[in-house]
Structure 1
């Protein structure tokens, strides 16, 4: 009931996850990323411990494939899980358990991995990877383009209701963590609209955290 991608920007070293699902609040349970380390999507009958586990393994020096192997070794009921990983060199690894739901498949490319379950067809992850590789610009823009490509290729077998976008870069917190936890409309477009608003302010929010004396004003009431 989910399709997603994890990706790295080869120019900046930024990592990101974009995800959508028919389930509510999918990004709250399935998206994980750590600056300087990598990004993980843990989905399909989700075990939220697997994302941090994979990131810890990569922080300790493992590559994506090694981290996925460790997830397989340590994970409970791993035959039900789907885990996508990208590491600091842009290498990717994927585990899709044989008990993943419905039509499930996966795809990989340089700096990007995609997977899904309960899909409308088995072309969706490859369409996501192709959409990412064909895009340019900010990693957030590329993640949105890729998720839209997956939806255009069929997406889930049924309607999606939640989506999320997470980005990490240089600081130990997500520089963007945008979510639509439930809508009867298109959650991907809801997140895309939020990204359009947030993107011009991203650097300023980081600056406010690091040194508010140098932070710009946005003219909100009381901010003079």
Structure 2
């Protein structure tokens, strides 16, 4: 590649994504560190990434339930995402799929890519022209990779953290790996955005079921810290969703357990307090529910109006007299 073209890539402030495997002259500039990984127990697969670049999750991280995950970075060719997943969906291993795409990529010297398939096979590639410190490292059911890092300790730190936190759920393990990368020095330019994607072990034709977790921090002073916070919120709302399902099934004890667990995770959240109180009321524990409702209504009167609308939908199953007691 001519030097003038490379300099254009390095300093262009509005990078364009290539739509096919080819020259890097129009590819997005996303130097970063990332991890692709699989949980051997659940079969879930994940991609975690952080970069000093806006909205890194929009181009680096790709995944499909029951198929695999992809991280494509450095001078990003996004075609590695959908094309890699398509190959793996046809039964091509991660290594063969990545090799096949690299071989026809004229800009491969500038690429950094990692593939992981549903069987746990992993493959990584770091082109010879990636900016140092640049490296990829594979382990059992994971690959970590980074370029333009402050030092050569970043990639080993990610691998060590992922192995060390083996008792954590996959998403939390990936976040710990990102934290370790940052602690080891991280991106030489600093921090800006991060993303986390988790897909399930079973294939699905329902696009809305493809991603179990899909979190992005597009622009933040401490993106990994914010990503960690969002993951905690996600876990709390998972509990809320389970509580909602329990209400639909008429299992108020189950609902109470789930809502209560969510509230403990975020005790300042009014909605979590509200639905816990609804579950208490539906379980005949009106006296326990009333002081909770009173505190909620004091902070935000809209919740008082909200509760009067629930009996018609069957979500609140108390008598009119009991409803009056709560709203007095």
Q: TM-score of the superposition, structure 2-length normalised? A: 0.62
Runs of 4+ in 1 over 4 A off after TM superposition: 203-208, 212-224
Gaps of at least 5 residues in structure 1 are none
Whether 1:44 and 2:68 are equivalent positions in the alignment is no
CA–CA distance in 2 between the matches of 1:59 and 1:203? 32
Whether 1:10 and 2:46 are equivalent positions in the alignment is no
Per mean C-alpha deviation after superposition, the further-off stretch among 214-223 and 135-144 is 214-223
Contact kept in structure 2, 1:123 and 1:153, CA below 8 Å: yes
Whether 1:149 and 2:180 are equivalent positions in the alignment is yes
CA displacement at 1:76 relative to structure 2: 4.3
CA displacement at 1:205 relative to structure 2: 5.4
CA–CA distance in 2 between the matches of 1:110 and 1:103? 23
Whether 1:181 and 2:215 are equivalent positions in the alignment is no
CA displacement at 1:204 relative to structure 2: 6.1
Deviations 1:36-90 (A, max 9, x none): 1111100011111111111111111111111111121233412211111111121
CA displacement at 1:173 relative to structure 2: 2.0
Whether 1:201 and 2:237 are equivalent positions in the alignment is yes
CA–CA distance in 1 between the matches of 2:71 and 2:249? 35
Q: Residues 41 and 60 of structure 1: is their aligned pair in 2 closer, same or farther, counting only changes over 3 Å?
A: same
Answer 1 or 2: which has greater strand percent.
1
Q: Residues 174 and 207 of structure 1: is their aligned pair in 2 closer, same or farther, counting only changes over 3 Å?
A: farther
CA–CA distance in 2 between the matches of 1:206 and 1:35? 21
CA displacement at 1:122 relative to structure 2: 1.5
Aligned with 2:58: secondary structure? helix
Q: Residues 62 and 157 of structure 1: is their aligned pair in 2 closer, same or farther, counting only changes over 3 Å?
A: same
CA–CA distance in 1 between the matches of 2:114 and 2:33? 11
CA–CA distance in 2 between the matches of 1:88 and 1:138? 17
CA–CA distance in 2 between the matches of 1:154 and 1:124? 6
Contact kept in structure 2, 1:64 and 1:92, CA below 8 Å: yes
Aligned with 1:44: secondary structure? strand
CA–CA distance in 1 between the matches of 2:212 and 2:191? 25
CA displacement at 1:28 relative to structure 2: 0.8
User: Which one of 228, 238, 252 corresponds to residue 192 of structure 1?
Assistant: 228
CA–CA distance in 1 between the matches of 2:158 and 2:90? 29
Taking the TM superposition and a 5 Å limit, the aligned residue runs for 1:1-224 are 1-135=31-165, 136-169=167-200, 170=202, 171=204, 172-183=209-220, 185-202=221-238, 219=274, 222=306, 224=310
Gaps of at least 5 residues in structure 2 are 1-30, 260-271, 276-302, 311-328
Q: Residues 146 and 84 of structure 1: is their aligned pair in 2 closer, same or farther, counting only changes over 3 Å?
A: same
CA–CA distance in 1 between the matches of 2:242 and 2:145? 31
Number of corresponding residues: 222
Deviations 1:113-163 (A, max 9, x none): 010110011121121111111102211110111111111111111211100
